[in-house]
Structure 1
Amino acid sequence: MFWAFLKLGLTSFGGPIAHLGYFRNELVVRRQWLDEAAYADLVALCQFLPGPASSQVGFSLGVLRGNGLLGGLAAWFAFTMPSAIILFAFALGAAAFTGPVAEGFVHGLKLVAVAVVAQAIWGMARTLTPDRARAGIALFAVAVVVFFSGSLGQIAAIGLGACAGLWLCRGEDAPISGHLSFPVSRRSGGVALVLFVAFLLLPPLVVTATGSQGFALFDAFYRSGAFVFGGGHVVLPLLQAQVVQPGWVDNEAFLAGYGLAQAVPGPLFTFAAYLGAVMSPAPNGLAGAAIALVALLLPGILLVYGMLPFWDALRSRPVAQAAMRGANAAVVGILGAALYSPVWTSAVLTPRDFALALTGFLLLTVWKAPPWIVVALLAAAGMTLHLI
C-alpha cells in the first residue's frame, strides 16, 4: 500500500481532478483493486464532504484495500509527504533567496496564482453554478465575504449557501451507483465524527485560556480544512484569512508559496507545510510545518473515515444533495472574491503583469498545459522582466 501511493505521490501532477485520473489508471485499471462503479461511488463521497478530495480518496482506498485504518494512514502518508518535503525545503531556502532575480521569481509565482485561481473559478463555475439559482447563491456569497471579511464571513457564506440550496436546489437527485463495503464499524465512524467536532470546538477554548501559539496555529489550519468545499483551490481564501490577516505570514510570501505549490506533485494542501515553516511567531520551521500540515488535512480524514459506514444511507437523501449544491455554489463566490483580493491586487501591478497572467490562464484553459510548465514559464518571465 505504501509503495503504490508513494509512486502516485511522486508523479501525480496537475491538481485534484488529475489526481483522481491517476488513481483510476493505477489502482482501478492496472492493479484492479476495485471496479469502476465502486471507484465512482468513492469519489462521490469524497466530493460530497469538505476536505481535499484526492487525499480523501487515497486514504479511503487505503482503508478499503489495506483492511482498515493502518492501510489508510499508509496511503495518506505516502501520497502526501513528497510534495510536503519539497515545499518545506523551499520555505527554508526562501529567506536566503534575495536580490532582483529572487524578486522576479517570487513575482512570477504570484502571477501563476492569478492564472491558476482564475482557471479554477472558470471550471468550477461551469460545473457548480449552471443555473440562475446557483449563480445567485455565488453572487450572494461574494457580498457576504466582501462585507464580512475574515474566516467568519467565509464560513457564514458557506452555511448560508447550504441553507439557500435547501430552498432553491431541490429536485435534481444525483444518480446512485452500487454499494461499497468498508472495514469500518459504525462505532469507529462515530468516534471519528466526535473527534472531528471536538478538534473544531476545543482548541479555541485552549487558546483563550492559555494564549498558546501552537494551539492557535493548529486551530487556524484545522478550521480551514474543516470548511474547504469544492476543491483544493478553495483553501486559498480560508488560509489567507487565517495567516495573512493576523500578520503571521506576509502576503507576498503567501502567494509565492501558493504559486510554487502548483508545480509539485501530490495534494495542494501540502501548501500548509510551507506556511507553517515560514511563519513569524514560533512554532515555525519543522514544528510549524508539521502542525500546519496535520491540522489542515486531519478534518478531511476524520470526516471521510467517519462517514464511510453511513454513506449509503446519507447519499440517497435529497435534502443532503440540495444543501451541498448550495454550499458548492457559495464556494465559487468565495473563490471569486479571493481572485480579486488578495491574488489580483498583489500580483497584477502593470500591463505586463496582466499580459503574463492572461498568458498563463490561456495556457491552462485553452492549450491544457500542465501547471508545472506554466509555473516555470511565468517564473522565468518574472525574473527576466526584473532584470531588464
Structure 2
Amino acid sequence: MPRSWDVFRQFLLLGCTSFGGPVAHLGYFRERFVTRQGWLTDAAYADLVALCQLLPGPASSQVGIGLGLMRAGWLGGLAAWIGFTLPSALLLIISAALLAAHPDWLSGGWLQGLKVAAVAVVSQAVLGMQRKLAPDRARASLMVAAAALVLLLPVPWVQVLALLLGAGLGLTVLDPPDDQPLDLDQAHHTQLRVPIGRGAALLMLVGLGCLLLTLPWLTASARPMLVQQLASFLQAGALVFGGGHVVLPLLEQSLVPPGWISLDQFLAGYGAAQAVPGPMFSLAAFLGFDLQGGLHGVGGALLALLALFLPAFLLIGGVLPFWSDLGRLATMRRALRGINAAVVGILLAALFQPVWQVGIRSSADFSLGIAAFLLLVAWRQPAWRVVLLCGLIGFRL
C-alpha cells in the first residue's frame, strides 16, 4: 500500500471519530501514530507539537499535516489534511445546504439553542486559555487591554493591531518564563526528519510572505467580491494564534459587516462546527456555502476551506525542515507570550460582542447558558453533546 494512501486512510478514520477539540486531537494522534503505529518517538512527537504551538494556525491540523509530511512527503501532508478535514467539511456543507433550503429554520428555537451553546463553548475556551496563556497579572492586564481595544475600535484591522501590541509588550515588558528555557540549545531537542528539500521549503515561506504582503491589497473594496472573500479567509488563517476558537472573531469581523452572511447564519455555523468531529477550521465550509455575492455553494465551500487552511499548510511545510536548526528562540518565545495574551483578549471581546449579545436574550437563555457552561466545565461533557442538547431544548421551547 502506498504510504500516502495509508496516511489518508489513518487520518480519515480519525476525522470521523475525533471529537473534543484540538487538545483531544493531539491525544488521538499520539495514541495512534506513536503508541500503535510507531511512526515516530514520543520525543519527536512532543517536538512537533511544540513547533505547531509556536506557529499561527490550527495547531492540531498542523500537527496532522506535519505527521503526513514526515511519513510520506508532500503527498502525505496533503493526504493527512484531506482525510482529517473531509468528514467534518461534508457534514457542515450538508448542514449549510439544509439551512439554505429552509431559511425559515433560522427563526426556529433550535437556532437560539445553538446560540446559547456558543456562549457556553466560547466562555469555556476563554477560561481555559486565560488559565494557560494569561495566568499572571501582567498577561491578564494585557488580555483585558486587548479586549478593550477590540471593543472600542471596531474596524477590520484592530485584531492585527492587538496582536502587534501584544508582541511588542511581550518583547519589552513581560519577563521570560521561569519554567522553560528560552534557548533550545539548553533544552532537549529531537531532530524531526522530513523528506522535503530545504529549497522547496524556502519557496513555501517566500510564497507565504508574498501572500501576506498582498492581503491588504486583496481585501480592498475595489477588488472583486470573490477576491475580497477569499482574502478574508486567508487573513484569518494566517492570524490565528491560540486555537481554533480564535477564528470566530477574525471571520465574523470580515464577513458579517459587509453583509456577505448574516450573524444568525454565522453563529448557526459555529454551533454546527461544535457538534461534528475534526478541526474547527471546517467552519469555513459552512460559511463558504452560505456566503452571498462571490463564494457560494459547494464550490464556495471548497474555496473557503482551502483559503483558510493554506497559510497553515505553507507555514508548517516551510518551517518543519529547518526546525532542528533553530537553536535560539528567546525573542520568538517572548513575543509569543504577549501575542497569546492578546489572543485571549480578542476572544474575550468576541464573547461579549457578538456571541453574548446575540445569544442571551432572556432569563431562560441565561439559565440554559449557565447550565451548558457547568456541563462543559464542571461535568466535563464534550462540546458536541452540549451543543446538541441546547439545540434540542431550544427546539422544544
Tell me if structure 1 keeps the 8 A contact 2:105–2:111. no
Determine the C-alpha separation between the residues in 2 that align with 1:184 and 1:312: 14
Q: Which is worse superposed, 136-145 or 200-209?
A: 200-209
Q: Please point out which of 15, 22, 37 is paired with 2:21.
A: 15
**How far off its partner does 1:176 sit?**
4.1
Give 2:184's aligned residue.
none
Tell me if structure 1 keeps the 8 A contact 2:106–2:264. no
Q: Please point out which of 352, 362, 366 is paired with 1:354.
A: 366
Describe the shift of the 1:101–1:91 C-alpha distance in structure 2 as closer, same or farther (beyond 3 A): closer
Determine the C-alpha separation between the residues in 2 that align with 1:103 and 1:45: 44
Describe the shift of the 1:360–1:209 C-alpha distance in structure 2 as closer, same or farther (beyond 3 A): closer
SS of the equivalent of 1:179 reads coil
Residue 337 of structure 1 aligns with an amino acid whose one-letter code is A
Give 1:241's aligned residue.
253
Q: Which is worse superposed, 305-314 or 339-348?
A: 305-314
Describe the shift of the 1:307–1:101 C-alpha distance in structure 2 as closer, same or farther (beyond 3 A): closer
Residue 231 of structure 1 aligns with an amino acid whose one-letter code is G
- Match status 1:58 vs 2:64: yes
SS of the equivalent of 2:199 reads helix
Q: What whole-Å deviation, never above 9, does each CA across 1:100-143 have from its counterpart, x for those lacking one?
A: 79611111111111011000011000000111111121112112
Q: What is the TM-score of this pair, normalised by structure 2?
A: 0.93
Tell me if structure 1 keeps the 8 A contact 2:112–2:359. yes
Tell me if structure 1 keeps the 8 A contact 2:220–2:228. no
**How far off its partner does 1:278 sit?**
0.5
Q: What whole-Å deviation, never above 9, does each CA across 1:221-240 have from its counterpart, x for those lacking one?
A: 00011000000000000000
SS of the equivalent of 2:101 reads coil
Q: Please point out which of 83, 90, 93 is paired with 2:95.
A: 90
Structure-to-structure mapping, 1:261-340, within 5 angstroms: 261-314=273-326, 316-340=328-352
Residue 304 of structure 1 aligns with an amino acid whose one-letter code is I
Determine the C-alpha separation between the residues in 2 that align with 1:335 and 1:276: 22
Give 1:47's aligned residue.
53
Tell me if structure 2 keeps the 8 A contact 1:176–1:316. no
Describe the shift of the 1:282–1:98 C-alpha distance in structure 2 as closer, same or farther (beyond 3 A): closer
Q: What is the TM-score of this pair, normalised by structure 1?
A: 0.95
Describe the shift of the 1:124–1:252 C-alpha distance in structure 2 as closer, same or farther (beyond 3 A): same
Q: What whole-Å deviation, never above 9, does each CA across 1:61-97 have from its counterpart, x for those lacking one?
A: 000011x111100111111111011101111110233
Residue 58 of structure 2 aligns with an amino acid whose one-letter code is P
Q: What whole-Å deviation, never above 9, does each CA across 1:10-38 have from its counterpart, x for those lacking one?
A: 11011111111110111111111111111
Structure-to-structure mapping, 1:1-388, within 5 angstroms: 1-66=7-72, 68-97=73-102, 99=104, 103-172=108-177, 173-174=180-181, 175-202=187-214, 204-205=216-217, 208=220, 211-314=223-326, 316-385=328-397
* Unpaired segments ≥5 residues, structure 2: 1-6, 182-186
SS of the equivalent of 2:56 reads coil
Tell me if structure 2 keeps the 8 A contact 1:101–1:383. no
Determine the C-alpha separation between the residues in 2 that align with 1:296 and 1:101: 25
How many corresponding residue pairs? 384
Determine the C-alpha separation between the residues in 1 that align with 2:271 and 2:43: 35
Residue 39 of structure 1 aligns with an amino acid whose one-letter code is Y
Determine the C-alpha separation between the residues in 2 that align with 1:102 and 1:142: 31
**How far off its partner does 1:371 sit?**
1.3
Tell me if structure 1 keeps the 8 A contact 2:124–2:376. yes
